[in-house]
Structure 1
Amino acid sequence: MLAGIILGPNLFGRIIGKNMRVIFTVESQELVDTITHFGYLVFILLMGVKMDLNMVLLTGKNGLYTGVASLMMPLLLGLLGVVKLGAWWHLPQERKFALVNLVALQSITPFPIVSCLLDDLKILNSELGRLGLSSALINDVLSMFLHLITNLAIGGVGHGQLKQAAGKFVGVLVYLAFLVKVIRPAMNWIIRRTPEGRPVNNGYVYAIILYFVASTVIFQLAGISSFLAPFILGLAIPDGPPLGVSLVEKLDCFTSGVLLPLFITTRVMKANFSEINFSSDFLQVSSIITAIGIVAKFIGSMVPSLVLKLHKRDILALAFIMTSKGVVDLVAMSFVRDNKVLTNDVYSFVVAVILAIAIITPYGVKYFYDPSRKYAGYQRRNILHLKPNAELRIVATLHRPDNVAAILNLIDATCPTKERTVALYGLHLIELVGRASPVFISHRMQKRIFVKNSYSENIIVALNHYEQDNWGAVSANAYTAISPPKLMHEDICMLALNKLASLIVLPFHRKWSEDGSLESEDKKLRILNSSVLDRAPCSVGILVDRGYLGGSNSLVSSAESPLRVAMIFFGGNDDREALTLAKRMASGANITLEVIHITHISEKGISTWEKMYDSEVLKDVKNGSFGSRNVSYREEMVDDGPNTALVIRPMANEYDLIIVGRRQREESPQTMGLHEWSEFPELGVIGDLLTTTDIIGRFSVLVIQQQKV
């Protein structure tokens, strides 16, 4: 938009004057308009592909009411304003029809605009983001049908062509029936013929593109809006992998990166702000109607949330989201202007309004909505402050098949019993591709599985079997979250917050093979782990499985030799949290625990409150009064970091599971000099030391960070 303002008559055109026509010839403009118009049609097709109509069925009351209210209030008040102001200014009939078009376009909240805004603000899968998406989808779908009906009605009544308008309406209904009965089953047939994990055959993709072009041309020749055909076709194409993903991957990059920005620029170049003259009656009425529409939409978006008593700041943020404007609004206005419905001065004024709202809206949402506010630690949600026999609630994230075995073995190691139960919430994370709306599914609540993914089904089956095998001691629930990688931490933290979890377990981004050698690493997973550590509403554990826990489904419960666990203790919140978890493990008969307390040579007695807390947590282990013969304690004195490394390195071959506290940014004489060599700050100094490729061994490491308060 800014490029269009610079290149148009507002700036560049004023400098070069009449030479503007030499540089931007009529022929070149027609060619660019044709190419970019096709790009916008492809954008409309992809917009339909990315939409998930299941959201309309699954949206809650607030989303439904907000979507309807944000459309109907500006529409009704705007039409009332047209009637009253049109009579007051004595506007001719064609001007009133133009204002009705303006009101209709002002009332729409385009779904892709809201989706892009939320994605840019990184709140796409937050509670507010999901509410905004569902509200915008309701608004968009409802406005599409209203637009179709009113356009055909106005065309028939206004021009005395009732039979022609009725014929167009019937034609659209026939096209919808054809899509439902023929095209949609054909799309499902293509998906069934595509092997899982493989892309769709290019021939099928080209056939869909040809059908898209043909249907658009037919609609244009029939006198129906050419944008309707690609949008409805997009809705008929199943979103997500494999078909939706293949179409998006082939078309989205060039369309969104080249054709669409060029299309927007050429449309804004037609706006001339010097033509805006408020002495014109039509422009005066248009500006008042525009103001009524914006204010009515803002208030209409707030009313349902006020009735349902949402947080006041969230209500205002939602109102800004629903009032947002962008490319869809601009293009709609430009086509109305091309059809001589709006005058140049009104079009220029509306472009300025759209640009102003597009700039203001993100700042309004940011100011009123802070997604991290809900994670504030108003109460202790960690293992240290749990009551002795309280249920341990754990959220475990699952990315790869080997994560399942490692997590279940770790849960086994916590020794769940009917007296001390464990609630496991397994969250399968899938990257959002080929759809615009993030999806969060509870497989226990939602019987129908929307995710056609064998790995998801395997997770559900594995968790159900594990729950049955440990009936009464473990409750296991499976969830699936489909969202962008940079926003997945929202799903994890929200699930932990809602389930009052004490611990989130994250797999490390590196994968080791069973022989202990490094196999692969995922940088996106590392970024995700860091985001969760920063925002988590409870304690967090990063599980580094170097081929031991992930190698079997029953290491703890049926192993002939006991699971050898070590807890390396330096002191501090994270270490106390880690020791508390290790003590819980030590209550099992098939687990041996050794607590290694690493102290500095110069340490004498209890000198600070922190040392007193450490001594209190260590007391029962140190004095042998813990109540289990499988627990031992030893103290290692060191004078610096290198000596600490010499003590820790041999442990790789002595233990199966090593538990450490993260102790990020905690300086101590025992770790002096080790920070400079740390490769993965998310693991802390000791966790990083144990995961280095210099140490070869088949063992696992659990790095614990206590809840931040």
Structure 2
Amino acid sequence: MPPLPAIVSSEGYVPGVNEPEQMICQYLHLTNSMGCSWFGCDVSAFSVPLLMIQLSVIFFVSQSFFYLLKPLRQSILSCQLIGSFVFICLVRLDDHILNQLFPESGKLVLHTVANFGFMLHVFVVGVQIDSSILKSVHRHVVLMGCMSFLVPYAVCVMCLMPLPNLIELDEVTFHTIPFVVALTSMTTFPAVTSTLSDLNLLNSDLGRLSCSTALVTDFCSWITALAMTTIGVALERREWKPLKNVLLIVCFLIWMCYVLRPFVLWIAKRIPEGQDIKETQFLVVIVAVLLCGFLSECLGQNASFGGFVMGLCVPDGPPFGSAIVNRVDWVATSILVPAKFAICAFKVNLKSLGGDEVFGALVTEGFITLAYLAKFTSNFVLAMYFSVPLQDAFHFSMIMCTKGIIDVSAFSLIRSNEVVTDQAYSLLILNMLLVTGSSRLLLWHFYDPSTRYQTYKRNSILECEPGDFFRMVVCIHNEDNVPSVINLLEASNPTIHQRIEVVTMNLHPLEGRASAILLPISQVEKIPSAQNRVLQMGKAFYYFMERNRNSVMVEHLVAMAPYGSMHEDVITIAINKCANIVIVPFHKRWAIDGSIEATFPGIRSVNLKIMEKAPCSIGILLDRGQIGGPNSVLTRRGKVFRITQLFLGGADDREALAYSTRMAQRHLISLLLVVLKTNLTDAEMAPEAHEKRMDREVIDRFRMECRGKDVYIQEEVAKDAVETVHLLRQMEKGCDLFIVGRDHGYVYSQLTYGLSEWSQCPELGRIGDLLATSDFKFSVLVVQQQPMERVESGRVSSSHHVNDLLQH
């Protein structure tokens, strides 16, 4: 091996167009080290090993800061920027470490890789955006989105015009401020969706309003920036040739919309249902991203612009969009994008904020603060004008002031083009971190969407009068839930005199999308990935409604949201429909032999949040085949469907008995009511005398309404949990569906004491959790009545105002 040169690179300054420019000279063969470390060579002098160590260090630093700042609810992107900034500041204290890790000769490769990763990240962002939102937003939302950018920009420009006559301001700062104000005034859609997703607000009313407004603001700011840049270049050079570039960009967009997008949709339609995309289809899309980035560079735009437009051409959601996102996002966002933040952190120069330039820094900071205040105020006033509640308007204005990676990239790009100074760039980054970080922390701490879940009165089955509609909201996660839900509705005894109004919610986890979806089945063509499955399930409920004409009304909705906030849609619909009960499927699925076939933790988290915050009663349905299988109430053909109700006492058991009373009215249903009593004396039960009286009233009402029906009442006495379990074993034979309340009150705690020690699913209660084990073979329905703390009299609900604003 030839001896290595003593100097691997050199740098210096040469005359440039406007000012001296830095030039770096190095040997061309210094790419791979080829094991030269064994000969005493510095491996970091070679570009490939240097890039590897740079990416590794940046990754560990960004992830460390993410875990440190996670309690403050900071996003991964903000933590990457903060971590890179702090790390660069520490490295700059030692010139040796700085030159070893980030020598000038290695920055070009790092820049190239970082920009490539950023283009892929922006492509993923484009894939996740549902561009059809722009077609359906209300004109009020369009006005709010446009004013969110134009008002702060106009206010700052009007304040800037007379400024030279009032104070002595240097020309560089004066020409920099308009661009600084424009960057501060814009709101990017990915930044807003990232904030909402991290705080589990994506499918709340506030989240939907923010997403729609941010998309309009993003579109408006991009059009304005393109126009200002083109006109500015034309005026500076006193020629209008740059306007030809605008025409070429428009032609490029038209070609993407009417040629490339139909081609990508054609590829997506060729994927068989239930299968993943092929490698060739994935490679075609990636090559198209590279070509679009190349064309974007040729048109004078950043390569990320072409990647973003290409992302908009790819259909969002599964199977095509989600597969693209899953394959590309983790590499781009976790490995390559942090390098982009490290480069942006390198450009922050805190020394430019002091010394002789401190006055210019104060003026620039004043205009940045003014832009944020004007943006917040304009959003707040417009939201209040369009009847958004005060609290929601305040939080909406905070969300619209948050920024993300697209904003940071814009800051860096405009600094690289020397449109703004180091001073202005540093202030933009620091203000972005302060405003976005504080906004996320305040939103997490103060905004609680569950406050609107409180209702005027208790919504329960017991409160439902005989002549009223029995309103139900049922949740469906997959096709296996459909038969059991339909048969449970059939068992609920829909008649002309006891009509049932049902809202079925087909719930899907959010995959490959940035914004949540809540649509009626009539608009299911907007989500092609789920169209076939949704239509098939919708047909099943349509046939059920036709079979029970004049006694059942069914409305079918499709919701796509993250599991962390999926309960928002269910609770919102339950409030709007004044539901008496929400039926949710259990998160476990049983096989034919009775063993647990599959477990879905995401569904369990949804059920827990619904039970915690629901504005009505809740029913968790564990189907082991008796409800939706061959022995169901609809397929027995003359045989009796056997239901057992265990009644210990308490609000939940009373609610369960009210539901059983409705079922007992139906023919071919046999109901056994087992009233389990304790051997406590009346003196010991004195604190619960009121509850005991209510229990007796409900049982007497049951006797009266079910007189002449196939109903049996059996009274049992137990002294402890052992006798309770023994009684449950005796009930297993001759039972298809077992109904029980979740909780049973303090008096009956001794009858279930000790059952919770081996509890696996506390949301089912002590009895329900025991029945969910593999020892029992019947299906189970666990009922919980709406807690009284969810009822608040005299309170005005505010969610309808936001809903009205979003509807068109």
TM-score range, shorter chain: over 0.9
Match of 1:643 in 2: 723
- Equivalents in 1 of 2:251, 2:589: separation in Å? 54
Tell whether the 8 Å contact from 1:405 to 1:553 is kept in structure 2 after alignment.
no
Q: Is the 8 A contact 2:348 2:426 kept in 1?
A: yes
| Compared CA separation, residues 187 and 135, structure 1 to 2 (3 A) | same
How far apart are the structure 1 equivalents of 2:625 and 2:635?
Answer: 18
1:191 and 2:268 equivalent?
Answer: yes
2:474 is the counterpart of 1:408: no
Aligned position for 2:162? 84
Which residue identity is paired with 2:655? E
Partner of 2:121: 43
- Match in the other structure for 1:264: 341
SS state of the match for residue 687, structure 1?
A: helix
Can you list the C-alpha shifts for 1:359-404, whole angstroms capped at 9, x where unaligned?
Answer: 2111232354211101124311111111122111111110121211
2:785 is matched with 706
Alpha-carbon distance, 1:541 to partner: 0.3
- Residue 464 of structure 1 corresponds to which residue in structure 2? 542
Aligned residues of 2:520 and 2:557 also touching (Cα < 8 A):
yes
Once residues 290 and 175 of structure 2 are traced to their aligned partners in structure 1, the CA distance between those partners, rounded to angstroms, is 31
What SS does the corresponding residue of 1:550 show, helix, strand or coil? coil
1:398 aligns with 2:476: yes
Aligned counterpart, 2:433:
355
1:58-85 per-residue CA deviation (whole Å, 9 max, x = no partner) reads 2234432321221111121122233232
Identity score, percent: 30
How big is the shift at 1:518? Answer: 2.9
In the alignment, which residue of structure 2 is the partner of 1:384? 462
Match of 1:74 in 2: 152
Shift of the alpha carbon at 1:91? Answer: 5.5
TM-superposed deviation, 1:568: 0.2
Encode CA deviations 1:203-230: one digit per residue, 9 max, x unaligned: 1221221222222223223423333211
Distance 1:199 1:119, change over 3 A: same
Q: How far off is 1:603 after superposition?
A: 4.6
Equivalent in the alignment of 2:610: 532
Q: Distance in 1 between matches of 2:525 and 2:617?
A: 32
1:575 aligns with 2:653: yes
Is 1:223 the counterpart of 2:223? The answer is no
Alignment partners' CA distance in 1, 2:147 and 2:322: 33
Alignment correspondent of 1:182: 259
Q: What's the CA shift for 1:447?
A: 7.2
Map Cα deviations across residues 454-482 of structure 1 (whole Å, 9 max, x no partner).
21111111111111111110001110001
What's the counterpart of residue 513 of structure 2? 435
**What is the aligned counterpart of 2:277 among 200, 213, 216?**
200
Q: Please state whether the residue corresponding to 2:112 is helix, strand or coil.
A: helix
Conserved 8 A contact 1:427-1:478: yes
Deviates more, 1:624-633 or 1:337-346: 624-633
Q: What is residue 656 of structure 1 aligned with on the other side?
A: 736
Which residue of the other structure, out of 403, 426, 439, is the alignment partner of 1:325? 403
User: Which residue pairs with 2:573 in the alignment?
Assistant: 495
Could you say if the C-alpha distance between residues 361 and 276 of structure 1 is closer, same or farther in structure 2, counting changes exceeding 3 Å?
A: same
Q: Is 1:241–2:322 an aligned residue pair? A: no
Which digits, 9 at most, give the CA deviation of each residue in 1:604-661, with x for residues without a partner?
Answer: 5974111111111112445x67433322211111111011111112323211111100
Matched residue type, 1:617:
V
Report the Cα offset of residue 279 of structure 1.
Answer: 5.1
TM-superposed deviation, 1:558 = 6.4
Answer yes or no: is 1:450 the counterpart of 2:527.
yes
- Secondary structure of the structure 1 residue equivalent to 2:598: strand
Change (3 A) 1:679 1:209: same
Taking a change above 3 Å as real, the CA distance of residues 364 and 677 of structure 1, as seen in their structure-2 partners, is closer
Letter of the aligned partner of 2:546 in structure 1? Q
Q: Aligned AA for 1:582?
A: S
Q: Distance in 2 between matches of 1:299 and 1:509?
A: 45
* Distance in 1 of aligned mates of 2:680 and 2:458: 34
In structure 2, give the amino acid aligned to 1:671: T
Equivalent residues in 2 for 1:563-602 (5 A)? 563-602=641-680
Counterpart of 2:69?
none
**Matching of residues 510-525 of structure 1 within 5 Å:** 510-525=588-603
User: Displacement, 1:18?
Assistant: 6.7
What residue identity is the alignment partner of 2:215?
L
Letter aligned with residue 573 of structure 1: A
Matching residue's letter, 1:531: K
Q: Which of 772, 789, 794 is the matching residue for 1:691? A: 772
State the alpha-carbon separation in 1 of the partners of residues 433 and 453 from structure 2: 34
Q: What residue in structure 2 maps to residue 58 of structure 1?
A: 136
Report the 3-state secondary structure (helix = DSSP H, G, I; strand = E; otherwise coil) of the residue aligned with 1:342.
Answer: coil
Deviation at 1:448, TM superposition (A): 4.5
- Residue 296 of structure 1: aligned partner: 374
- Residues 31 and 612 (structure 1 numbering): CA distance in 2 closer, same or farther, change over 3 Å? same
Whether the 8 Å CA contact 1:405–1:552 is kept in 2: the answer is no
Q: 1:214 aligns with which of 273, 288, 291?
A: 291
Unaligned runs of 5+ in 1: none
Letter in 2 for 1:634: Q
Which AA in structure 2 matches 1:536?
A
Q: Note the C-alpha offset of 1:702.
A: 0.5
| Alignment pair present for 1:343 and 2:421 | yes
Q: 1:590 to 1:644 in 2, by over 3 A?
A: same
Question: Could you tell me how far apart the structure 2 residues matched to 1:37 and 1:543 are?
Answer: 51
Cα deviation code 1:17-43 (max 9, x no counterpart): 576334420022222121111111111
Task: Tell me the amino acid that sits aligned with residue 125 of structure 1.
Answer: N
Contact 1:317 1:368 in 2 (8 A): no
Q: Letter of the 1:33 partner, please give it.
A: H
CA distance in 1, matches of 2:564, 2:149: 32
Tell me the CA shift for residue 591 of structure 1: 1.4
Mapped to 2, the partners of 1:374 and 1:91 lie a distance apart of 51
Contact 2:584–2:620 (8 Å) recurs in 1: yes
CA contact (8 A) 1:330 1:351 kept: yes
Q: Conserved in 1, the CA contact under 8 Å of 2:249 and 2:299?
A: no
**How far does the alpha carbon of each residue in 1:278-331 deviate from its partner, in whole angstroms, 9 at most, with x for none?**
853543432222122101110111122111222111110000000112322222
Which of 696, 704, 708 matches 1:615?
696
The answer as to whether partners of 2:620 and 2:781 remain within 8 angstroms in 1 is yes
Alignment of 1:16-35 (within 5 A): 16-17=94-95, 20-35=98-113
Q: Distance in 1 between matches of 2:260 and 2:609?
A: 42
User: How far apart are the structure 1 equivalents of 2:709 and 2:476?
Assistant: 34
The counterpart of 1:672, out of the listed 753, 764, 780, is: 753
CA distance in 2: counterparts of 1:250 and 1:629, whole angstroms = 60
- Looking at structure 2, the residues matched to 664 and 270 of structure 1 have their Cα atoms a distance apart, in angstroms, of 64
Residue number in structure 2 paired with 1:274: 351
For structure 1, which segment, 661-670 or 304-313, has the greater mean C-alpha deviation from structure 2 after superposition? 661-670
Cα distance in 2 for residues equivalent to 1:80 and 1:625: 75
Give yes or no for contact 1:459–1:478 (8 Å, CA) kept in 2. no
